[in-house]
Copies of this chain bind each other. A is one copy, B any other.
Amino acid sequence: MTDPIRPVRPPARKRKRPRNPSPEVRTRLLEAASSLIDEGGISRLRIDDVAERAGLSVGTVYLYFEGKDDLFSHVVIELTRVLRERLRIAYEGEGPLLQRLVAALDTYLDFVEEKRQGFLHFRDAGAVHTTGGRLSVWALNQHVQDMRPVLEAGMEQGEVRRTDPELLAQACLGLLQHMAGVWIETSRSWPREEFRRFLLQATYGLIRP
């Protein structure tokens, strides 16, 4: 697998690589890092803790990842892949465009509720600069590129107002990401159904012809 992006900071030391890299070990390390980030954010992530949580040695962590930023980047890359895959299923589902966008919104809210504080840490991943730009910008742009053709098809069929599809996808996803952050930061002080209804109306307001 070629990594789409990597941190721009040079690794602290010349790194050995595993002779026979194990996907299971890599996944265990990513899952350990992900759960630690959910709990304390990236600033408190320590390689020692990742090794302990994964039941592996610190040396093993450094065989698979260059350091903390590299590990964090790969956690974000993996979570972005998972969320993109779920959203793709929603976008490609049955029914008219609006129904598929509602399914995508529900998919996103499920993801946010799964991650809770972790969602905020990933949103704030901008602290890590990568070859693909700020990590959080890179992640959102992946979703923008997936949503854009869906909106373009909607414009063709008269279901979405004709405008710049890149700006419209950025608007829909930027709004969704911001509001999800507000929801988590206020400890979800609006019930999901009420919050969801607001987001549906807001998104419809953005896209309707």
Contacts and interface: CB of A to CB of B under 8 A. Distances in A.
B175 A178 contact: yes
A187 interface: no
A168 B126 CA distance: 26
B198 A164 contact: yes
B202 A206 contact: yes
Contact of A182 (B127, B174, B207): B174
Determine chain A's interface SS by DSSP, over half rule. helix
CB-based closest 3 A-B pairs: A174-B178, A205-B205, A124-B126
A181 B206 CA distance: 18
Nearest to A197: B163
A39 to B, nearest CB: 16
Contacts of A167: 179, 182, 190, 195, 198
Interface string A106-128: 00000000000000000010110
Give the interface centre of A133, A161, A201, A208 by most chain B CB atoms within 10 Å. A201
Interface string A184-206: 01000010001100100110011
Contacts of A190: 164, 167
A27 to B, nearest CB: 29
A96 B182 CA distance: 29
A165 B109 CA distance: 21
A195 B171 CA distance: 12
A171 B127 contact: no
